[in-house]
Chains A and B, each alone.
Chain A
Amino acid sequence: MEHIVIIGNGIAGITCARHIRKNSNKKITVISAESDYFFSRTALMYVYMGHMQWRHLKPYEDWFWKKNKIALKNAYVEQIDFEQKTLHFSSKETMIYDKLVLATGSVYNKFGWDGEDLDGVQGLVSKQDLELLEKNTKKCQQAVIIGGGLIGVELAEMLSTRNINVKFLIREEAFWHNILPLQDAKFISAHIKSHGIDLQENTEIQKIKAGKNNRVEAVETKEREEIKCDLVGLCAGVKPNIAFLKNTSLELDRGILVDEFLATNIPAVYAIGDCAQVKNPLPHRKSIEAVWYVGRMMGETLAQTLTGNKMPYKPGNWFNSAKFFDIEYQTYGKVSPTENSEEKHLHWEHANKTKAITIAFNPENEEFLGINTFGIRMRHAVFDAWLNQKASLNMVLRNLESANFDPEFYKTYEKEIFRNFQQDLTAKTF
């Protein structure tokens, strides 16, 4: 019986394993050194905040894996012998595979700053990071978070639930402006500040200073400002977790290079999820997309190929979601951080500063391109259909209410939004 070994038990690896099992009787082993069982990485923050316990993060009960004959192995792969199709574990054990799926995920970025390896300096990606954070914040009063991404804002929220002062340093002029249009970014910046977070835009750090016992004592910015702190959160993005694959015959760039079938340059070896870098991504997608949904979709697709139904990875319209303190964010389609001749934006904000919408469209043919929605839930299926049929801006605006996904009895703002956008459209000439 063919033995498929999957390294990594995150959403990509586990989705792949489940779908292989659905379609075949192959022997499946999933290897992880991080946790015995699959858990939802996106929910790590809720354990720290006391919303959930570790067991709640596991989407399947522990008996599930045995019942579905998916073998789980807690081990750390140190080395892969692609010639002999053999994995070498840190325990000196070995394992032979017929097909290998690399789903090793991400590690947080480091930039070679002085002091980035001090005690009390950490990112937040893995279960071990969470455990370390619990230790690092035992007597913590002041934290500095570097980098304004989704993990940064989550960490800020986490720390604030424990009465830790947070200075949040970001390079952009407003939060996540490398992704969000400026108005959206400023809107979220204001919300973060309203939660008592000291968000400092246009700020980059120079180095991290050590105090006693090799522990962090302060952060120095490029403007030579010194910020005393007991914790530094490294949240300036993540990168593929591929260090153990360097200097092998596996073709690497920033991630593990894969073709449209998610296959690497070595036969019978595949890569999916955060660690994979698609060589020729579709026009509307990036080569590395370290988000939950992409991991899942790659897992779904690769499982087809591995069970005899060869299938290229073809993600549909881009979508994503996040939550910034109290404000939920969803996005469908393409909304670039800056406007250009082929993409203009309409922006609406509610007076109470908890709801906003930005719609991107092409001014030449008035085609709807995408939407960012904050504090108003929208239906994925409706926007997916509109994007597929290249709906016009006018059509989307007129039917916006049909996409609303807020709970019953919620006040709807579509009419106000519609009026507001109509005014903008007539006032401005795009």
Chain B
Amino acid sequence: MSKTENNMSLAGEPPAKLNVGQKIASAIGLLGLFILVLAIVNVNFPHKTLWLSLSFGLITLGTILFAYKTYAHKTPGIKNDGVWFKSMTNRGFWAWVTGIGLTFFYVILYWYPQYLGLHENADNTGIIALFDPLSYLINGGAASQWFVYGTLYTLAIFIFGYKFILKYKHNKYEVLRTFSVMFFQLAFAFLLPEILVRLNQPYFNPANIWPLNYDFFAGYKLNSFFSAGTLGTIMFAIGVLSVFVISPILTYKYGKRWYCSWVCGCGGMAETAGDPYRHLSDKSLFAWKVERWVIHSVLVFATVMTIAVVYSFLGENSAKFWLTKDVFLWMSTGFLTLLFAGLMLFKRQELAKDAKYGAIGYLVVILFIIALNYFSGNSKIFFFPGYKLREWYGFLIGAAFSGVIGVGFYPIFGNRVWCRFGCPMAAILGMQQRLFSKFRITTNGGQCISCGNCSTYCEMGIDVRAYAQKGENIVRSSCVGCGICAAVCPRGVLKLENDSLDGRINSQEVLLGNDVDLMDLVNQKSK
């Protein structure tokens, strides 16, 4: 006789509840967070170093313990059990609490830093004062709201990165790229610029590339580079080379993933802290249409804004410096026209109809503005001063879009809203990835069973299945190469690859496995 074991746990329930270990871990983490909240409401801690360390220690310990209690006892493999049952990951109560909390934080951070304790001509108070000792240690000055933000951001990428690595311990691609984003966040985005500031050099993060770094060509930035001697010039050169040489080469070889899921700080946050929300992205065709219009509009906005600020930075006397306002405008016009003509000449077939219309439309707009300005005299640019345009860009795109919506809304719209709909850098890399890159996601013959795991867990809202079930490689400008579609595929159908350009975009109506004649017949027709 075998006996049924009486299980004391509430069996048969969806796995939506936290286990005891996870609850304790959450409590520890929240305690650490609570210290920061106390600081925000102006509890003036003595021994700030001690309290900040304690806070970080508790947050780190809590998250690591939580991750450990969630994944460590499980066998390597896909860990999506109960994702759609949990309040936090299914737009439930806790998701909204988190989303609204984060959004408030961003609003205060961007527009009301005084509530965090930032004071002009006076010592910091509140949470910013709590970070003063760390700030003095690293950059030699008092903390700012951005220092606080940068520190917390880096901490988040590390602790949630650890969680992500545990979750995907079986997948070396995921593990490696997580180490990569951790490294670039800590070394390039956090420490390097702060140390440069300590050494009285310009603030510079080489991993933050124009146009994501929309300020790179702003007048105050250019002044800071050019007044910093050789080092400043080198920084400027690196920035320009990144845009025009380094990024195109890497994107050609590896696709935009080299940046978006290996280097970028926004991507780093999305892939670590944002990972539990990746399935919330909208996969509808409608969302894709919106995406293309919005992201390319932001790119045009960024380009126009940048041309404007550089234009207002430059002088008119060619005797002083060869690059004058006029020369710059002609160069910009020329460059864009060449780029566009090249695209139309060599890649006309690969551009979908509406992409072509969009490109034509946008180019006309840019040229129109430049022409209008050029022929209307140089007193004002683009109808109003260039710096105004940058301010508006900073407010709308830099702060509201990338920060408040981009991260604040993780638990509601998914973790890559900014990267998908807003990032102008992603737009440029994406265009190149679509047209001039060896990268693609290969589908494995006829093995797809249309289960939909790939589409569900695509953070960029790509309907991966739509391609896989047709045996078609996935060549999409928005793909950031996170590799999760390939990881969650239960039948080994998807593989991220860099391979030759020939046959990169293919379409097969009849898949491998069937009558060879039928495959030829139908696939010829569909081409």
Chains A and B come from one and the same complex: yes
B495→A51 contact, CB < 8 A: no
- Interface status of A141 (Cβ within 8 A of chain B): yes
Please measure, in the bound complex, the distance between the C-alpha atom of A1 and the C-alpha atom of B12, giving whole angstroms: 52
A272-306 interface with B by 8 A CB criterion: 292-293, 296-297, 300-301, 304
B4→A297 contact, CB < 8 A: no
The A interface is mostly helix, strand or loop, or mixed, namely: loop
Name the CB-closest residue of A to B254.
A408
A316-359 interface with B by 8 A CB criterion: 316-317, 319, 321-323, 325-326, 328, 330, 354
B7→A165 contact, CB < 8 A: yes
Residue-by-residue, is B251-270 near A (CB-CB < 8 Å gives 1, otherwise 0)?
00000000000000000000
B81→A161 contact, CB < 8 A: yes
Contact of B518 among A46, A300, A408 (CB under 8 A): A300
B80-115 interface with A by 8 A CB criterion: 80-86
- Interface status of A142 (Cβ within 8 A of chain B): yes
Name the CB-closest residue of B to A164.
B11
Q: How many residues of A contact B (CB 8 A)?
A: 73
Q: Give the number of A-B contacts (CB < 8 Å).
A: 216
Contacts A165-B5, A292-B449, A311-B518; is A407 near B496 (CB within 8 Å)? yes
B173→A381 contact, CB < 8 A: no
Contacts A42-B451, A225-B1, A409-B173; is A50 near B509 (CB within 8 Å)? no
Q: How many residues of B contact A (CB 8 A)?
A: 71
Contact of B514 among A297, A323, A406 (CB under 8 A): A297
A293→B453 contact, CB < 8 A: no
Please measure, in the bound complex, the distance between the C-alpha atom of A227 and the C-alpha atom of B451, giving whole angstroms: 34
Please measure, in the bound complex, the distance between the C-alpha atom of A229 and the C-alpha atom of B75, giving whole angstroms: 27
Please measure, in the bound complex, the distance between the C-alpha atom of A314 and the C-alpha atom of B519, giving whole angstroms: 11
B449→A42 contact, CB < 8 A: yes
Name the CB-closest residue of B to A167.
B2
- Interface status of A415 (Cβ within 8 A of chain B): no
B515→A313 contact, CB < 8 A: yes
Please measure, in the bound complex, the distance between the C-alpha atom of A117 and the C-alpha atom of B75, giving whole angstroms: 36
Residues on A with beta carbons closer than 8 Å to the beta carbon of B171: 407
B427-444 interface with A by 8 A CB criterion: 442, 444
Please measure, in the bound complex, the distance between the C-alpha atom of A212 and the C-alpha atom of B491, giving whole angstroms: 42
- Interface status of B150 (Cβ within 8 A of chain A): no
Residues on A with beta carbons closer than 8 Å to the beta carbon of B465: 59
- Interface status of A186 (Cβ within 8 A of chain B): no
Contacts A51-B80, A319-B445, A408-B173; is A326 near B518 (CB within 8 Å)? no
Contacts A56-B452, A225-B1, A409-B176; is A163 near B495 (CB within 8 Å)? no
B513→A297 contact, CB < 8 A: yes
Contacts A321-B491, A325-B77; is A61 near B469 (CB within 8 Å)? no
Among the listed stretches B39-47, B48-56, B292-300, B482-490, which one makes contact with chain A, having 4 or more residues with CB under 8 Å of it? Answer: B482-490
B82→A50 contact, CB < 8 A: yes
Contacts A19-B509, A321-B449; is A51 near B81 (CB within 8 Å)? yes
Name the CB-closest residue of A to B85.
A50
A49→B496 contact, CB < 8 A: no
Contact of A319 among B2, B80, B513, B515 (CB under 8 A): B513
Residue-by-residue, is B476-517 near A (CB-CB < 8 Å gives 1, otherwise 0)?
000000010011101110011100000000000111111111
Contact of A162 among B6, B15, B512, B513 (CB under 8 A): B15
Contact of A138 among B2, B6, B12, B170 (CB under 8 A): B12
Residues on A with beta carbons closer than 8 Å to the beta carbon of B16: 50
**Distance from A403 Cβ to chain B, minimum over Cβ atoms (Å):** 10
Residues on A with beta carbons closer than 8 Å to the beta carbon of B120: none
Contacts A162-B15, A164-B12, A319-B447; is A51 near B83 (CB within 8 Å)? yes
- Interface status of A80 (Cβ within 8 A of chain B): no
B445→A163 contact, CB < 8 A: no
9 shortest interchain CB distances as A-B pairs: A380-B445, A326-B77, A377-B492, A43-B451, A50-B82, A314-B515, A409-B172, A321-B491, A323-B490
- Sampled A-B contacts (19; CB under 8 Å): A50-B81, A50-B84, A141-B6, A142-B4, A142-B5, A161-B81, A194-B75, A195-B75, A228-B4, A293-B447, A296-B511, A297-B513, A301-B515, A304-B521, A316-B514, A379-B444, A380-B445, A384-B445, A405-B444
